[in-house]
């Protein structure tokens, strides 16, 4: 079968105008890649290249989508790792910040006993009582130096975050919800309640 003449004319570089086989492929300017009839020759590969180009584009699009999914997963994992790290740091920070909490809790009943003894019978030997007060004062100062503070409750409005209402009583002239008597002192350690105060509240 005779070869068709390429209509690319002088722009064609495949040599088909000299009787050679057309090899324009994707560079052919005869218009076959735009849906027109191919005039490059019997073995023109323009249509084949068009199919190959579409396949490559589809594969490239798929790779881009997969790459985006992987990037999203990496970002999520990175954020999760950062959150775990922050939680871990916070836990360690809190452990260090409130280190000694249990020891302080165990010391508070001793403070209570000192206060009860000091408030008891005034007939106790003054020198003995003075020694008691000295030990008590030293203990309170040590606790204050490490961040332990008494919760001031007397005549204050009841605060469930700091106090436990053990008893209630109606008192004329006192608005409901105010502390009448502190039955047991409460304490904070730094910014944490280490023991709630036990109080009687007006109703």
Q: In this structure, are 89 and 105 located in the same domain? A: no
**pLDDT value of residue 98:** 75
**pLDDT value of residue 195:** 95
Q: Which of 97, 114, 144 is the last residue of a domain?
A: 97
CA 39 to each of CA 1, 6, 10, 32: distance values in angstroms, whole numbers, following the listed order: 14, 5, 14, 7
Q: In 160-171, which positions are buried (b, 16+ CB within 10 angstroms) versus exposed (e)?
A: eebbebeeeeee
Q: Which residue range is the domain that position 83 belongs to? A: 40-97
Q: In this structure, are 174 and 115 located in the same domain? A: yes
Q: In this structure, are 122 and 89 located in the same domain? A: no
Residue with tokens 């009943």: 109
Q: In this structure, are 79 and 107 located in the same domain? A: no
Measured distance CA(180)–CA(201) in Å, rounded: 5
Residue 50 phi, psi (nearest 5): -65, -45
Measured distance CA(31)–CA(25) in Å, rounded: 11
Q: How many CB atoms lie within 10 A of CB 67?
A: 10
**pLDDT value of residue 124:** 64
Q: Which two tokens stand for residue 67?
A: 């790459």
**pLDDT value of residue 65:** 86
| Angle, vertex CA 17, rays to CA 16 and CA 20, nearest 5 | 35
Measured distance CA(111)–CA(128) in Å, rounded: 17
**pLDDT value of residue 33:** 47
Q: Which of 72, 97, 122 is the last residue of a domain?
A: 97
Q: In this structure, are 87 and 105 located in the same domain? A: no
Q: What is the CATH number of the domain that holds 185?
A: 2.30.22.10
Nearest Cα residue to 194 out of 104, 92, 113, 99: 104
Q: In this structure, are 105 and 195 located in the same domain? A: yes
Measured distance CA(196)–CA(184) in Å, rounded: 9
Q: In this structure, are 61 and 123 located in the same domain? A: no
Q: In this structure, are 50 and 108 located in the same domain? A: no
Q: In this structure, are 135 and 195 located in the same domain? A: yes
Measured distance CA(187)–CA(110) in Å, rounded: 14
Q: In this structure, are 59 and 120 located in the same domain? A: no
Query: What is the domain count for the chain?
Result: 2
Query: Could you tell me the pTM of the whole model?
Result: 0.54
Measured distance CA(167)–CA(135) in Å, rounded: 32
Q: Mean pLDDT in runs of 10 for the chain (203 residues)? A: 49 57 54 50 52 77 86 84 78 73 89 84 71 88 92 95 95 93 94 94 94
Q: In this structure, are 105 and 93 located in the same domain? A: no
Q: In this structure, are 198 and 107 located in the same domain? A: yes
Residue 5 domain-assigned (yes or no): no
Residue 7 domain-assigned (yes or no): no
Residue 25 domain-assigned (yes or no): no
CA 195 to each of CA 24, 81, 167, 185: distance values in angstroms, whole numbers, following the listed order: 90, 36, 18, 8
């Amino acid at each position: 079968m005779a070869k068709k003449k390429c209509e690319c004319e002088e722009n064609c570089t495949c040599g088909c105008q000299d009787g050679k086989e057309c090899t324009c492929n994707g560079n052919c300017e005869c218009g076959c890649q735009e849906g027109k009839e191919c005039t490059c020759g019997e073995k023109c590969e323009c249509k084949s290249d068009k199919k190959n180009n579409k396949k490559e584009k589809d594969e490239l699009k798929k790779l881009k989508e997969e790459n985006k999914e992987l990037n999203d997963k990496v970002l999520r994992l990175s954020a999760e790792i950062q959150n775990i790290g922050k939680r871990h740091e916070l836990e360690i920070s809190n452990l260090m910040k409130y280190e000694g909490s249990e020891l302080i809790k165990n010391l508070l009943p001793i403070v209570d006993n000192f206060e009860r003894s000091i408030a008891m019978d005034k007939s106790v030997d003054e020198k003995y009582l003075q020694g008691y007060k000295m030990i008590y004062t030293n203990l309170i100062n040590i606790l204050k130096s490490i961040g332990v503070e008494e919760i001031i409750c007397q005549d204050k409005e009841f605060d469930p975050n700091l106090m436990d209402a053990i008893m209630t009583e109606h008192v004329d002239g006192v608005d409901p919800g105010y502390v009448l008597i502190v039955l047991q002192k409460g304490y904070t350690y730094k910014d944490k309640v280490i023991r709630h105060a036990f109080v009687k509240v007006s109703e």
